[in-house]
A and B are shown apart, each in its own frame.
Chain A
Amino acid sequence: MACESEVLTVDSIACTGHGICAQLLPEWVRLDDWGYPIIRPGAVPATLLPQAKWAITNCPALALHLRKSG
């Protein structure tokens, strides 16, 4: 298997700070003092990927994305 990894990113213009991502993926996303997501840098662990995709699907602003890296 290739060493491809995926990084979780947010389109900061699209994001409106609902905060659902931090609820669905607290291991990888926390909120700043104004309710906007702070996402851990680096590859999302494979075990968290299903949860990350669930967060992406449920973002009301469709602002979350997984980007391939590496």
Chain B
Amino acid sequence: MTSATLRSGAWKLLEMITTPLLPSDYLDLVSPLRAGADLRGRIEAVHPETADAATIVIRPGRGWRGHTAGQYVRIGVDVDGRRLWRAYSITSPTNRQDGRVTITVKAIPDGKVSNHLVRRAKPGTLVQLDQPTGDFVLPQAKPAKVLYLTAGSGITPVMGMLRDIDFDDVVMVHCAPQPQDVIFRNELHDLVTAKKLRLTEVHTDTDGMLDIARLGELVPDWAERETWACGPAGLLDAAEEFWSGHGVGERLHTERFRPGIVVAGDGGEVTFSATGKTVDADGATPLLDAGEEAGVLMPSGCRMGICFGCVTPLKAGAVRDLRTGEITEAEPGVLIQTCVSAAAGPCDIER
């Protein structure tokens, strides 16, 4: 017998011992970050950066495959007992000695997860992680001249890059309302002092918004620079137009933080993506009825919200609970009871 078959045999025996649970259910009690466990991390420290931003130091589980500078990670945090997933750029360098990674979070108004992480997260807390991902990364070959164009928390993926690799000629234009709102300001100024970075801060409260058309005044050779830009959609739209207008569109790399713009309405187009059917449903028709009428095979049960026999993944959009009026927005892993939920705008039900 090879050691692999021995191992799988031993694992099968373990499964028989722990049935109906899995061996991992018991191992999780003592070692949630071990190799082979679902990927998690433990918050080890929370460092305030500005009045509304903080850096969260996380020790990832053994299954963490590491990141490339500029990438982001999806993180599942329990807020008021409910698990919510968000994506944040990784701000730590890839070669950090202690194996920890950091994300830097800016609390946005009414942001459930961001406010929780910035103001209430405690060291010791376990969070769920996905492997890092994203293609807002540096190329293998070092560009001679680099421009980082950022605004607000758009600085976070760029900070991951700045900390990771030294380039010979780096310029950064960063926008924030006031000097005290500039995340990582001390560290940036240290880099300036060390002559590793040329920095222009645009303080929008006093200077007004950055006018991309006048970028040449700040960075005369912008068109020769490989540029990474991250910030609000308006800035990125303007940048893309400006770069491609000058025929250098391929030099610009942008990262858009997915804006949470699900607008909850009353009724909408319901897509049953597994069967490829689409129907228009009003705000009073349960999705179960809408699906059945369209000939989709829907799991069902009591039809009054008590048996949980109809729970189905909500892949996109928003639905309204017909009993409470509560709106549920699509997020990975979100399941809804189709018998008591109606479309609140366009939505996609995995059936």
The finding on whether chains A and B are genuine partners in a shared complex, rather than unrelated, reads: no
